[in-house]
Structure 1
Amino acid sequence: MIKLVILILLLFLSNISAAQDNETLDGKLKKAVTNENLTGAVWSTISDDIVTTGAIGLKNADTKEILEKNDRVLIGSVTKTLIATGILRLVSQGKLDIESPVYKILPNITFDNPWREDNPVTIRDLLNHTSGIEDSRFWQIFSTKSTSSTPLEYIFSKDPSVLKVRTLPGTRFSYSNMGYSFLGLIIEKTTQEPYETYLDKNLLVPLGMKNSTFQFTTQKGEHIDQHLAMGHFENGTTQENIPMFLRPAGQFTTTAKDMAQFAKFLMSEGTINGKLFIDKALLNQMGNPTSTESYKNGLKSGYQFGLSYRDRYGVVGKFHRGNTIGYRATFYLFPEQKKGFFISYNSDSETANYEKFNTIFINHLGINKPKKLKIKDSLPSNIKDFHGYYKMNPFRFEMFAYLDLLFNSIKVEQENNKLIVQSIQNETNSLLPIGSNLFRKEDRVKPSHVFYKNGSVPIISDGLVTYEKVNITYLALMWLSLILGLTGIFFILFRGFYLLFKKKLFKNKQIITFPFLSILGLLIPFPFLLNQSFLNLGDVTFANVLLAIVTGFLPIAMILGSKKIRRNRILTIDTVGILFVLQWTIILIYWSVIPFRLWA
């Protein structure tokens, strides 16, 4: 009897303690949502088999409706974790071979793959973002032309150039929304059903995710879902959900409770009601890369089967983040401790610190914090081979490859017993030696970077971004081209306005007339672009076509000016300005920057 009373008392006290903890968590989350100027969020935590859910803020800023914990939300790219799980289910059933070349399943899709004979793109490559294809194009993301039933094959048949394989398949990570759209198409070809229908029945129902769907849902119109929270932007402007071309990469409606149910399964033995659902070995590989160059050179971090290995805040876990128009989401697992959390915000803000919420959850769950690996007393003997400048390879978006070369290249140099990594856009990082060719950032507990050589080319990788050493002369020339080009543009503008004021701009022998007018013409599209929804950035609109025309005319105007230079046979300071801009436009044409066609 005494033991029973003590047991009841302990249970009572533990429930009080749990309630206080939940209140503390809820309070911290509410404060963070307010401080970061977010509209609202739904969340869930998992600790062993205990699931806690909650909601904060507004469901709709216009109507002031309160967000409830059972309301549905969108999760953007966290959808990829579910798509990957659906593929692993088909593999576990023997319906797919994870090493199967994609061309055997989709014979009508032809990759531009120089390594096809020995290294075709496989299902594994698509799952791991190691296919070598780029992420996406503007028209695939920012468009109102897509419908909820646009055939997935259209994504690749409209413009075959998106199928270019840029690196040896299987070797380097490069995030690709197109890759996961391929997986949706593979599910359709394998099951002979729309991937949404098949996965709703054969993945979500068995997992008990009763309030989730891969089908398109929105807040208004034909596919209305009254329980779907409205999306919002930074200023509180509401945005209803719209169809997307790359829907397998980011179209999923769910609840915080369902995502907790999903998390519990991923940390399980892979069985449902005692029956094998997904091979445990496949589940264990999620977030543990095994095929990339960086892994084979000793680095364990990276991405596999829909999850990333993540070393942040002094803890190590498996992770995926997502964002789609009006929403952001985070999904975090700590399988060894059977803990995790999910949060989806119905606010897509560029200024909010979303990382702050991860810290709150990790501290609340009491995630174990391993000791940082000890630093070695000396750097590797061949470290001087790795001093210098590096460029990304591959670039995530081919459209921005030129800008990435200039602004995302890095410099590596030695400072005492550590390496300093500098870039123009990102903060400077210190890498500390922890043995062999492995290094860790100061705030990490495990290896974060690996240095190795591909043939004779020095490589640096963190598992998610790979850098190749680049000749400093080449990089300097690219920067010089940019500086001279911009100098030429400012000079031509100055001279053009001066000559216009002096009423000499339109004289017959004036060489600067067309160059000046072409540069002024670059301003013409801006009023139309500002009045155009960003959702149409990838569509063929009046503003976008106008932008392509004025940028395309720029090199033509410089050539016309150059012809007048030859005709006049007089070298003036205006000549220098025109030639400066002309050489830069040639570089921009080479990098496919101009004509600037957002829909291409």
Structure 2
Amino acid sequence: MKIAAAVLAGVLTIAGARAARAEPPPRGIAELRARVARVLLREHVPGAGIALVDGDRVVWAGGVGVADRATGRPVTADTLFRVGSVTKSFLALALVKLAERGRVDLDAPVSRIAPELAIGNRWAAEQPITLAHLLEHTAGFDDMHFNEMYAPLAAEAMPLGEVLAKNPASRVARWRPGSRFSYANPGYTVAAYVLEKVTGRAYEEVLDRELLRPLGMTGAALRLTPEVDARLARGYRDEGAAVPYRAIYHRPAGNLMASPRELAALVQLALGRGRFGNVALISPAGMARIERSDTVRIDAGDASYGLGNYGDVSERAPIRGHDGGVDGFLSSYGYLPGQGVGFVVLLNSTYSWTAVVAIRHLLVEYLLADQPVSPPPRQPVPEDELQRWAGTYHLAAPRLQLLAFLERALPGVEVFVDHGRMYAATVPRRGAPVELIPLGGDRFRVPSASGSHVAFGRDRDGRRVLIAEGSYLLEEPRSRALGFALGSVICFWLLASGLALPLTLLSRRAGPSPGIGWPLGVSLSLFAVPRLFLAAAEAGVLGERNAYTVGIFVLTLVFALGSMASAVQALLWLPRPGSLLGKLYRLAFACAACCATAYLTAYGIIGIRLWSY
């Protein structure tokens, strides 16, 4: 799924409008493999597992490249990959299957089924959190906190109740359930806990019995064993050595391991509208519900998130499916309901999503061949109707609340109408505006999209809302958006300039330079904290107390203390003799530092203890 913190221009143009692709589609498997190999070579990706599906048959399944750089073991149709969040599709299918048997109600409050679970929801009386909210990522939960991400291997056998007890803070509704989409892995662990409570069996056993075995996926696994490890590709984060297998706490959200050949069965099931071979595992109505978003007031249409299943309109025809990413692996499966074809692509690397996009495009073009596919046509909409949505919007549903301060600092989006056509651009404007083509019902697409992925509406308080794929944006005055954007840039450059103070002063005269210590400390902290954060993330230790996280805690306090000290120094220097320009600079630096401190304090960043967040 696309992360909301992507540059907004990219969100609005579906991660950048498709570049012109002059190459004709591959004309055979040999040519397809050769072109995939070129992508892998260009992106330095070791290997790819691929499957192509046409209706109820697998056209081809195989591999390109190597599963293990050290041994040169090739990728084959039966090589196992960690498929990450593709696991969510199976959990959602299992719950829909149980719902069709009357064993569970997707719209029932979770608190009624599992009252023992710690779930925060101050809207519980009027809008309780349901299973459907969890599966559609509309419960309002935060995503995983750092101390509930990676786990020791023994955690793969940990009861889900213990997993959920590790950090209940991520399971608090931040807004009214059903009002906004925000991708949250913990919701799927709660859903799996409900599945276990309803069935009396471990979720792994339920998925194996209800889906994996009926689909012929007998080689797939939800836990690592020596036998599974022997068939598993090695994962890579860079061009160096393989990363060790790291277990995850929220395994119902992303712990499946499967081969491209076997994962193709999921595509066949979707294209068969719930049938696999001669067996109906789920009804056509159940499949339709899986592909539909029912819990939100406003959805993006063809790009909406259903139950472990979402839409992609970046190719010539709309796609449904799911992507996944886990340490060392990227995955994507998709199917084109209108054309009856689908694909699986699995990579043993996490450092090139570009490779996934490029290979997926090759697979779709191969499957479509020369089929003419037209995007939905422009619908006539009066200009005054379009003008209803003209305005400025900002992101308002952060995936991880801790990083909301970064998301809020991203440029806003301005929507305007010119000569009867609607456009979107960043605030302040950079690059050419993107046209939003009306499709009716307040839904739109950009020229390169094959379906609707932008929508407008109003929330319960009457505020205008813009949905751009999975991103939720609220209206705000243009002056505020512009002022915030420009203020952020000015503050950043002023704070960054503190690093140059010692060199500047030394180049002008010898001797001591009083008053530069605190500004220098502020600037050093500003750049050191992100480096420590990224280093801890790379090592997978953000949720632990260690040199990285303690350093972040200390340096954020240094930043705040240095900001206040810089302000005091700047004021004390005003009546002294000296350069007016220098005094004004010190004052501007101090103002920027104090504003940044107030902003970061409001978002809980100053003095953050990541090990207990």
Q: TM-score, normalised by structure 1?
A: 0.86
Is this contact kept in 2: 1:213–1:254, CA < 8 A?
yes
1:9 matched to which residue of 2? none
Equivalent position of 2:404 in the other structure: 401
Distance 1:177 1:563, change over 3 A: same
**Correspondence for 2:252 among 248, 255, 279:** 248
8 Å Cα contact 2:302-2:313 kept in structure 1: no
Letter in 2 for 1:461: I
The answer to whether the 8 Å contact 2:495/2:522 transfers is no
Structure-1 residue corresponding to 2:389? 386
Please point out which of 354, 372, 376 is paired with 2:375. Answer: 372
1:529 deviates by 6.7
Structure 1 position 24 matched with structure 2 position 31? yes
Choose from 54, 57, 62 the match for 1:54: 62
- Shift of the 589–104 alpha-carbon distance from structure 1 to 2, 3 Å rule, reads same
Q: How many residues align?
A: 572
1:556 and 2:556 equivalent?
Answer: no
Partner Cα distance (2:552, 2:452) in 1: 45
The separation in 2 between residues aligned to 1:418 and 1:235, in whole angstroms, is 47
Is it true that 1:266 corresponds to 2:270 in the alignment? yes
Look up the SS of the partner of 2:49 in the other structure: strand
* Aligned twin of 2:449: 444
Task: Give the number of the structure whose alpha-carbon radius of gyration is greater.
Answer: 1
- Give, in whole Å, the separation in 2 of the partners of 1:491 and 1:531: 24
Q: 1:514 to 1:234 in 2, by over 3 A?
A: closer
Aligned twin of 1:215: 223
8 Å Cα contact 1:380-1:436 kept in structure 2: no
Contact kept, 8 Å, 1:488 with 1:578, in 2: the verdict is: no
Which stretch of structure 1 is more off in the superposition, 254-263 or 400-409?
400-409
Q: What is the match of residue 14 of structure 2?
A: none
Distance 1:584 1:137 in 2: 24
**How far apart are the structure 1 equivalents of 2:292 and 2:422?**
26
| AA at the equivalent of 2:111 | Y
Matching residue's letter, 1:353: A
Partners of 1:145 and 1:539 within 8 A in 2: no
1:71 aligns with 2:79: yes
Which whole-Å CA distance do the structure 2 matches of 1:369 and 1:168 have between them? 43
Q: If the length of structure 2 is used for normalisation, what is the TM-score?
A: 0.84
Q: What is aligned with 1:43? A: 50
| Deviation (angstroms), 1:251 | 0.6
Superposition deviation, residue 158 in structure 1: 3.7
Residue 407 of structure 2 corresponds to residue 417 of structure 1: no
The Cα shift of 1:21 comes to 3.2
Q: Given that residues 235 and 348 in structure 2 are in contact (C-alpha distance below 8 angstroms), is that contact kept between their aligned partners in structure 1?
A: yes
Aligned pairs for 1:173-184 (under 5 A) are 173-184=181-192
Structure 2 counterpart of 1:471, which letter? P
d(CA) in 1 for partners of 2:526 and 2:313?
45
Q: 2: CA distance between counterparts of 1:408 and 1:216?
A: 43
Counterpart amino acid of residue 261 in structure 1: A
Show the 5 A alignment for 1:65-464.
Answer: 65-141=73-149, 147-217=155-225, 225-268=229-272, 270=274, 277-295=281-299, 299-350=301-352, 352-366=354-368, 369-376=372-379, 379-423=382-426, 428-435=433-440, 437-454=442-459, 455-464=461-470
Give 1:332 deviation, angstroms: 0.8
> Cα gap change, 1:379/1:400 in structure 2, threshold over 3 Å: closer, same or farther?
farther
What secondary structure is seen at the aligned counterpart in 1 of 2:344? strand
* Conserved 8 A contact 1:329-1:345: yes
Q: Which one-letter code corresponds to 1:587 in the other structure?
A: Y
**Change in CA separation of 1:237 and 1:430 when aligned onto 2, cut-off 3 Å:** farther
Report the AA paired with residue 402 of structure 1. F
For the structure 1 residues 36 and 576, does the alpha-carbon distance in structure 2 shift closer, same or farther, using more than 3 Å as the test? closer
Distance in 2 of aligned mates of 1:562 and 1:198: 62
1:589, CA displacement in angstroms?
0.9
Map of 2:524 onto structure 1: 520
Query: Which is worse superposed, 416-425 or 440-449?
Result: 416-425
Question: What SS does structure 1 have at the residue aligned with 2:247?
Answer: coil
Which has the larger displacement, 119-128 or 437-446? 437-446
Q: CA deviation at 1:244?
A: 0.8
CA contact (8 A) 2:331 2:345 kept: yes
1:477/1:536 CA distance change after superposition, 3 Å:
same
CA contact (8 A) 1:142 1:539 kept: no
- Show structure 1 runs of 5+ residues with no match: 1-18
Aligned counterparts of 2:409 and 2:211: Cα–Cα separation in 1: 44
Cα gap change, 1:502 to 1:592, in 2 (>3 Å): farther
Q: Report if the CA contact (8 A) 2:411-2:485 is conserved.
A: no
CA distance in 2, matches of 1:300, 1:498: 56
CA contact (8 A) 2:107 2:132 kept: yes
Q: Which amino acid in 2 is paired with 1:285?
A: R
1:423 alignment partner AA: T
| Matches of 2:64 and 2:253, distance apart in 1 | 27
8 Å Cα contact 1:38-1:352 kept in structure 2: no
The answer to whether the 8 A contact 2:62-2:261 is kept is no
Query: Tell me, which stretches of 5 or more residues in structure 2 are unaligned?
Result: 1-25, 577-582
Contact kept in structure 1, 2:146 and 2:542, CA below 8 Å: yes
- Among 465, 468, 471, the alignment partner of 1:465 is 471
Give 1:520 shift.
3.4
Q: Which residue of 2 aligns with 1:485?
A: 491
Separation in structure 2 between the aligned mates of residue 148 and residue 589 of structure 1, nearest angstrom: 37
Structure 2 CA distance for aligned equivalents of residues 488 and 302 of structure 1: 41
Q: Once superposed, what is the RMSD of the aligned Cα atoms? A: 3.2
Identical residues among aligned pairs (%) = 20
Cα distance in 2 for residues equivalent to 1:524 and 1:260: 45
Q: CA, structure 1 residues 346+427, in 2 after alignment: closer, same or farther (shift >3 Å)?
A: farther
Deviations 1:112-169 (A, max 9, x none): 3232112111001111111111233333336669832344345543443322213332
Counterpart of 2:10 in structure 1 is: none
Shift of 1:481: 4.3
**Cα distance in structure 2, aligned partners of 1:552 and 1:439:** 46
Residue type at the aligned position of 2:540: L
Is 1:34 aligned with 2:41?
yes
